[in-house]
Amino acid sequence: MFNRLSQLTRHLARPPPNYLTASPAALSILRPCVSNMTSSAVHNYTKTIHTAACLIIGDEVLGGKTIDTNSAYFAKYCFSLGIQLKRVEVIADDESEIIEAVRRMSSKPRIPGDCPVMSEANYVPYLGTKSHDDITYESIAKAFGLKLKLHRAAFDRMKKLSKPHPMQPQFDWDTPSPGLTAKLRMVELPHDDTLPEEQQAIFVADDMWVPIAIVNGNVHILPGVPRLFERLLEHLKPTLLPRLTNPEGKGIYRYLFSTPLPESAVAPYLTDLATRTSSQGIKVGSYPRWGKKRNTVTLVGTDQNFMDSLVSEVEQNVQGRRVTQEDVLDPPSDAE
């Protein structure tokens, strides 16, 4: 089974209802109460996006068989849009693990590391590929008291856009077969009868049949195949932009400073700088480059004008210069 990536944002409003903390075994008992999630899902679907978390689900990743690249791509994607990626987790293909993680990351008021003053909603995509042994969609459905349902529009698009497999020359879309059953299973998505279809699955690319399923208003299910994942995320961007803190999608800025000083020499100044600028949302970093003669200091934030005002001060105090990449000022001997 392909690795699954789930980017999940937490909405930070009221404490979650009981169904979020129930064990899987108790879901059938609590199902009548799950209707309370509808208002939460609608709220999550429309709230401003501030933060995100990323859940990678796959035994292949934990076993070293597959190298996850989706989380790195998503981190850069969030950074470019000004969305703060707060957490990346990797868990096994285990139903109870998936249920616990997806509930917590979708609805927990505060995950360790989140800004304690943050009280807005956040972004939650999830990514999975359905194969014969995939339990991701089913587990996410169970997490929110839902069932899987054939998404007719996705199936129709699949029939229109899919090419026949050379090893299945006799396959027919209208004739029951193991192959047809497998294809139908790929478009069985978590479904909430109380919500409009367009709030539960969206198509973002005309030439792709793969839908992005949305659960609880902020859990987005995308294919884990990197090529598909990246394309769908890029096509999803126009949908996200109106919901960002900065609708223009200017993103987060990272300023690099190359310094000849060791980290211990600049630490006192950087500590003071971090204290003075934290209220402006600036994060100050220091990164030793082992075996090199120059180290790197970084400023990360969303207020570009304020960051520009700090450039001269930082350059003077670290005896360095702002650079576009950290090795620009390396002497020739460092490059050998």
**Per-position DSSP letters for 44-89, written without gaps between them:** HHHSPB-EEEEEEE-HHHHTTSS---HHHHHHHHHHHHT-EEEEEE
| Average pLDDT for 278-282 | 93
Residue 259 or residue 40, greater confidence:
259
| Average pLDDT for 298-319 | 96
- Of the pLDDT bands very low, low, confident and very high (cuts 50, 70, 90), residue 84 is confident
Which residues, at least 6 apart from 175, have a Cβ–Cβ distance to it below 8 Å? none
Q: If you average pLDDT over every residue of the chain, what do you get?
A: 80
Assessment of whether the complete model's pTM goes beyond 0.95: no
How do residues 103-129 score in pLDDT, each as one tens digit? Answer: 888 875 444 333 222 222 344 455 444
User: Nearest CA to 303 among 270, 335, 281, 286?
Assistant: 281
Helices and strands (H and E) in the chain: how many: 12, 13
- Of the pLDDT bands very low, low, confident and very high (cuts 50, 70, 90), residue 131 is low
Q: Is the pLDDT of residue 225 over 70?
A: yes
With tokens 């679907």, the residue in question is 45
Other Cβ atoms within 10 Å of 268 Cβ, number: 10
Q: What's the confidence (pLDDT) of residue 73?
A: 93
Question: Which parts of the chain fold into alpha helices (H)?
Answer: 27-30, 37-46, 59-62, 70-81, 95-107, 136-143, 152-161, 178-185, 226-240, 263-277, 304-318, 332-335
| Average pLDDT for 235-260 | 87
Other Cβ atoms within 10 Å of 70 Cβ, number: 25
Using an 8 Å Cβ cutoff, are 135 and 98 in contact? Answer: yes
Which residues, at least 6 apart from 244, have a Cβ–Cβ distance to it below 8 Å? 48, 49, 81, 82, 83
Distances (CA, A) of 306 to 28, 185, 303, 310: 53, 52, 5, 7
- Of the pLDDT bands very low, low, confident and very high (cuts 50, 70, 90), residue 75 is very high
SS3 215: strand
With tokens 């884990």, the residue in question is 224
Q: What's the confidence (pLDDT) of residue 21?
A: 38
With tokens 């006799």, the residue in question is 170
Q: What's the confidence (pLDDT) of residue 307?
A: 97
Q: What's the confidence (pLDDT) of residue 108?
A: 58
Q: Are strands 219-222 and 125-127 parallel, antiparallel or unpaired?
A: parallel
Other Cβ atoms within 10 Å of 78 Cβ, number: 25
The highest-confidence range among 17-21, 224-228, 249-253, by mean pLDDT, is 224-228
Residues 325, 323: Cα–Cα separation, whole Å: 6
| Average pLDDT for 74-98 | 90
User: Nearest CA to 287 among 327, 245, 251, 333?
Assistant: 327
Sheet holding 201-202, edge to edge: 84-91, 51-57, 4-7, 125-127, 219-222, 212-215, 201-202
Strand partners, 258: 296, 321
With tokens 């995950």, the residue in question is 111
- Of the pLDDT bands very low, low, confident and very high (cuts 50, 70, 90), residue 133 is low
- Of the pLDDT bands very low, low, confident and very high (cuts 50, 70, 90), residue 61 is confident
Strand partners, 88: 54
Residues 31, 306: Cα–Cα separation, whole Å: 51
Residues 54, 273: Cα–Cα separation, whole Å: 30
